[in-house]
Amino acid sequence: MTFKTPQSVSLLAGQRVHYVPYVAPRAIRSAWTAHRSINGLLKRERFDGIVSTGAAIAVSAMSCPASRSVPRLYIESVSRTDGPSLSGRILAATRLAELRTQHKAWASRKWTYAGNVLDEFDTFEADAASSPSLFVTLGTIRPYRFDRVIDAVLASGLPDERTVWQLGTTGRSDLPGRVLEQMSATDFARAARNASIVVTHAGVGTILQLLDMGVYPVVVPRRKKFGEHVDDHQLQIASLLADRGIASVADPEELRRETMLAAAARGVRAR
């Protein structure tokens, strides 16, 4: 069960999928609509379990009356370094699911430590391209724009006609290269592999996909105070990446040409 986007459609081609309407962060009315849709599915068909890694869709699914007899497992996002998200707190308070954390620091009798997905990766030196190309990806979260990172990339002087921009809701008409709102998984992978430098917001799904592909990304976290996200959890995932040395992390104000060129000379591999 997920939201219908070009990426989810391509990733789940050939699989059984139940698409629900998009639920923005903390959008109670949309979460209720998703809840009704999921409850209808659970009434029609029996499942052996429900597993989720977060966001409002987890609460929508696990709170359904039709799910009460189904085992439910909630694995909190790796980005939550100092405690559970709002969804995690709701599920913990209502005891609707077994709970797992990826951080020992806040594991407890209620939240069992399950390992950390970022521990799978390390880096190595790679050959940098003499004429680097760029792929900039900002995910699909709505309705939050992220103009600061685009302005910082433009100021570096590196973008050109080869640059691919996947901007979600941050529509711009002043950019060189190819500009897209969303991309299929195939197109995303092709753009990431063809680029010498990948600049991304600190979205967990995007980052894990890039690391799996061997890409050493330049990660720029969104900030709540600039209206770029609902909270500052992207700062937490960015800090984790920096501590492990598996990405280059910078705020837009600190993003320099030299930072991006240095990332082009690094690669990532599984341990």
Q: In terms of Cα–Cα distance, which of 264, 213, 211, 197 is closest to 241?
A: 211
Whether this prediction's pTM lies above 0.85 is answered by no
* Assigned token pair, 174: 């002043």
Identify the three-state secondary structure at position 227.
coil
CA triple 158-209-55, angle to 5 deg = 110
Half-sphere exposure of 163 (CA within 13 A, CB side): 23
pLDDT at position 195 is: 96
Name residues whose C-beta falls within 8 Å of residue 173's C-beta, 6 or more positions apart in sequence.
none
Full pLDDT tens readout for the chain, 271 residues: 998 988 889 889 999 999 998 887 777 888 888 888 999 999 999 899 999 987 788 999 999 888 888 999 999 999 899 999 999 999 999 999 999 999 999 999 999 999 999 999 999 998 888 889 999 999 888 889 999 999 999 999 999 999 999 999 999 999 999 999 999 989 999 999 999 999 999 999 899 999 999 999 999 999 999 999 988 889 999 999 999 999 999 999 999 999 999 999 999 998 8
Beta strands 121-125 and 266-270, pairing class: antiparallel
Residue holding tokens 């995303």?
Answer: 188
